[in-house]
Structure formats: C-alpha cells, structure tokens
C-alpha cells in the first residue's frame, strides 16, 4: 500500500479528489462537476446535497481500495461562502451564491449604522463587494429573512463545512475569515465591532490553528483530518514552505495577481481604490494582493494581431525574445506607447493598450510592444503589493501562463534586476498546499 495524503479540492466549477504520495507527487486525480440548483430566491448556487453525497461515496470507495494507505485528509474550497447549521447540525439554508445581488436598502442601512464604506473596507481589508463580503450574507439573513436567521445555531465557512462532514467538529480558520469577508479587523486581530454589535460573532465556532488538526477513523485506525482552507491561501503554502526569504508571487491567468505574504503595512483607502486587498495566510499573517487584468487584455490583443498579420491565433507562442525590439521599454517615448501606459486611474485593474499596428511591419515587433505595455502596467501592481519597497524582497515568483512567456519574463527581470526570477509550478498548487499543511510524513 502506498502511503498518501488525500485532498478534496472544491472549485466553483470542478470538484477534485487527489492523492499525494510521500514525495508530494499526485498519484490519483479524479474530477467531478454538478449542476447548480436554485435557492429560495430563484438564484442558482452550489448543490450542497450532491456535493456531500459525492464526498461520502468517494471516501467510502477509497476506504475499500487497499492500494492506498491514507495518513491524512484535508480540504480546500472557493471562498465567500457560508453554511448555516441548526441546533441539530444540519444546513438551514441553501449555499447562497456570492454573485447574488445585495439589496440596496440593506446596504444603506448597514453603512448608516457602521460608518463610511471605504473606512469599513480598510479596517476589514475587504473592498465593498456585497455578497462577496460573506459577513454581509449573515447581516442580509438577519434582516432580510429573520425567521430563517432564528434557526441558525452555527455559521461556518465552506472549507470548514467540508471538514465538518468528515469530523463532526466545528471550527473557524484564518484563511476563510480573512478572504474579503468584512468580518475581521486586521488591525485589532479580532472580529470587527459591527460583527459584535450584531451578535454575529456568537455564531462562529472558535478559531483553531492548522497545527491542531482533527482526527477521524479510517479502516479502524486514527488519521489526521484538516480544518479546510480557502483556495487562494492554500495555493501560497507550497511557496511559503519552500522559501524562507521574502518573496513576491505573481500568479498569472486571466488576471495578473501579485501576492505579498510579508506585508507589514495596513491596507489604506488609497490601496482599496486601486483594487488592492489583504487576506490571511494559514498561520494568520496578512497577505497583500494587487491585480491587473493582463491575461484578458493579452487574449483580446493577440486576436487582433493574428487577424492583422494573417497568422494563427496562437502564433505568439513561437515568438522569441529579441532585446532590440524592446529598446524603448520603460520610456514614455516608446513607439506606439503614451504616458498613459503607467495606469493610475480609478479603475485600477483595467489595462490600457495603445498599440497602432500601422507602426509595426511584423507580428514579432508588434507583439514585443504589446507585452512591453502589459509589463509596464503589471509593474505598478507589483510595486503596490510590495508596499513601495521592492528592496525588501529577494525573489519574484511567476506562475501561470505568463511564466512561459520569454518576453514577459525578460522584461520583468530587466525592471527588477535585483530580484531572482523563478517560474513557479502552479499545477494543482491549491491541493498541494492543503496536503503540505498536514505534515503527514
């Protein structure tokens, strides 16, 4: 039997079950998805019953499979989602979708009672995002569905609910509490005053450290079961375990998100206006996060390039970095660029591309300019997350699609010559983080 750690990785679309061996290599990877159901308001959301049934049947099948010797199990899920339990430990409500609209009158009532929207946002490191601030979901239930609210004995975040299904134990963890919930005062390191004033802190189980996992019985013996983790925080864990010196992580996909797990300055209103926020690591330390919509901008622009130069849609993957084509990088006088490239507007995540294709006689030249403009704007986001002090950091880790882009990586290195650049491996990083926390081997 192969010794291993089991992880349930619950995404909004895909639900995964993975097994990691002693070297933290994936030896089993199953995937499932479920149709959404409608809640009591007619909005679509997660099918909690189908999810719970899949978890149970998957676990039972593993228990019967003698090829694997499971030492521990942990869980990671998307955030901004709460499960409300009655006194019998059963869900009182559907799992409300964080994309549900938050009623305007309740929003006015909340901020009239508890102060300026930006001030509350700064104190809780949570941009005002309605239902995405999961704490406000409880406020909405209290005043919008009072009969339902009366039935709630305990409220737990989704990762801890998945853990609860296995352990029967209730807990709150830092990673869920810190993900733009509007519940937690980052300065006071306790529930925000509004949460206490509404009596909502009484509904949450005590905070528990990930160093104190639960125990469950598996094939007649005791194994460790984790508390569950918010996915963004979980994805950072492999890097926190690997690097002792301060680093920045630029995670690229549709967004270019810069994460600073060594943040030591509180979030300011100026940060919030630039779409910068904070959340918490699994040990309760703040992570500053800043983002740019670079992946989306890249996707749209390469379509235009392919059409203009009569090339295949993915021709950019063949373009080799040529330093001569980026000689003006970093200068406002660059051909086709404008002083506006360094974005400091209110819509801070937006990416402005000012690319006149008539100025470039080849795809290669135009593509170098496109990537240069994307990097120029990503740099502003990196500096924001770094709290303006890039000298504190030794390493810039880049994972996701742009880590494979030689032009992007070369221009970042040129901008930050003092930083060691590393291309990270993000495949199943969220599940790997959940496995590593268990320290099973």
Per residue in 129-178, pLDDT (tens digit) is 899 999 999 999 999 999 999 999 999 999 999 999 999 999 999 999 99
Q: What confidence tier does 334 reach under pLDDT thresholds 50, 70, 90?
A: very low
Residues 102-109 have a mean pLDDT of 97
Work out the average pLDDT over 232-246: 92
- 177-235 pLDDT, tens per residue? 999 999 999 999 999 999 999 999 999 999 999 999 999 999 999 999 999 999 989 98
pLDDT in the model for residue 253: 82
Mean pLDDT of 118-123: 94
State the pLDDT confidence band at 427, using cuts at 50, 70 and 90.
low
Residue 397 has what pLDDT? 95
pLDDT tens readout for residues 21-51: 999 999 999 999 999 999 999 999 999 999 9
Q: Which pLDDT value is given to residue 330?
A: 80
Q: Is the pLDDT of residue 338 over 60?
A: no
Q: How far apart, in whole angstroms, are the C-alpha atoms of residue 374 and residue 359?
A: 18
Query: Is residue 340 scored above 80 in pLDDT?
Result: no
Could you tell me the domains of the chain? 2-227 (3.30.420.40), 292-423 (no CATH)
Average pLDDT of span 5-30:
96
Give the chain's mean pLDDT. Answer: 92
The yes-or-no verdict on residue 321 having pLDDT over 50 is yes
Please calculate the CA angle 411-415-416 and round it to the nearest 5 degrees: 120
The share of the chain scoring above pLDDT 90, in percent, equals 83
Model pLDDT, residue 426? 58
Q: Is the pLDDT of residue 344 over 60?
A: no
Q: How do residues 357-367 score in pLDDT, each as one tens digit? A: 999 999 999 99
As a three-state string, the secondary structure of the chain is CEEEEEEEEECCCCEEEEEECCCCCEEEEEEECCCCEECCCCCEECCHHHHHHHHHHHHHHHHHCCCEEEEEEEEEECCCCEEEECCCCCECCCCCCCCCCCCHHHHHHHHHHHCCHHHHHHHHCCCCCHHHCHHHHHHHHHHHCHHHHHCCCEEEEHHHHHHHHHHCCCCECHHHHCCCCCCEECCCCEECHHHHHCCHHHHCCCECCCCCCEEEEECCEEEEECCCEEHHHHHHHHHHHHCCCCEEEEEECCCEEEEECCCCCCCCHHHHHCCCEEEECCCCCEEEEEEECHHHHHHHHHHHHHHHHCCCCCHHHHCCCCHHHHCCCCCCCCCCCCHHHCCCCCCCCCCCCCCCHHHCCCHHHHHHHHHHHHHHHHHHHHHHHCCCCHHHCCEEEEEEHHHHCHHHHHHHHHHCCCCEEEECCCCCHHHHHHHHHCCCC
């Amino acid at each position: 039997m192969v010794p291993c750690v089991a992880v349930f990785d619950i995404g909004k679309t895909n639900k995964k079950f993975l097994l990691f061996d002693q070297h933290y290599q994936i030896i089993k990877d199953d995937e499932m998805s479920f149709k959404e159901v409608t809640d009591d308001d007619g909005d679509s959301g997660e099918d909690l019953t189908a999810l719970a049934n899949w978890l149970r049947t998957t676990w039972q099948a593993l228990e019967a499979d003698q090829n694997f010797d499971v030492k521990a199990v942990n869980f990671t899920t998307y955030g901004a989602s709460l499960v409300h339990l009655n006194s019998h430990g059963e869900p009182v409500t559907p799992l409300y979708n964080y994309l549900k609209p938050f009623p305007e009158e309740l929003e006015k009532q909340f901020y009239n009672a508890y102060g300026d929207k930006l001030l509350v946002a700064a104190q809780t490191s949570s941009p005002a995002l309605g239902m995405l601030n999961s704490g406000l979901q409880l406020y909405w239930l209290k005043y919008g569905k009072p009969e339902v609210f009366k039935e709630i004995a305990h409220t737990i975040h989704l990762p801890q609910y998945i853990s609860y299904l296995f352990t029967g134990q209730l807990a709150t963890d830092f990673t869920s509490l810190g993900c733009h919930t509007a519940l937690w005062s980052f300065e006071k390191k306790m529930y925000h005053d509004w949460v206490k004033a509404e009596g909502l802190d009484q509904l949450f189980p005590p905070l528990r450290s990930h160093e104190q996992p639960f125990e469950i019985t598996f094939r007649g013996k005791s194994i460790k079961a984790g508390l569950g983790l918010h996915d963004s925080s979980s994805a950072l864990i492999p890097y926190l375990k690997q690097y002792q010196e301060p680093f920045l992580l630029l995670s690229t996909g549709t967004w270019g998100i810069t994460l600073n797990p060594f943040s030591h300055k509180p979030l300011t209103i100026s940060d919030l206006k630039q779409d910068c926020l904070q959340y918490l690591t699994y040990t309760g330390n703040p992570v500053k996060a800043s983002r740019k919509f670079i992946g989306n901008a890249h996707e749209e622009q390469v379509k235009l390039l392919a059409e203009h130069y009569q090339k295949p849609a993915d021709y950019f993957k063949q373009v080799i970095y040529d330093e001569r084509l980026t000689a003006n990088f970093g200068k406002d006088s660059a051909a086709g660029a404008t002083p506006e490239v360094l974005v400091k507007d209110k819509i801070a995540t937006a990416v402005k591309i000012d690319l006149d294709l008539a100025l470039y006689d080849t795809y290669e030249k135009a593509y170098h300019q496109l990537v240069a403009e994307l990097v120029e704007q990503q740099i502003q986001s990196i500096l924001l997350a770094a709290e303006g002090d890039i000298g504190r950091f030794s390493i810039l880790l880049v994972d996701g699609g742009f880590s494979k882009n030689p032009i992007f990586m070369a221009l970042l290195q040129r901008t930050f010559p003092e930083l060691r650049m590393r291309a990270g491996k993000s495949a199943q990083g969220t599940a790997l983080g959940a496995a590593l926390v268990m320290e099973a081997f």
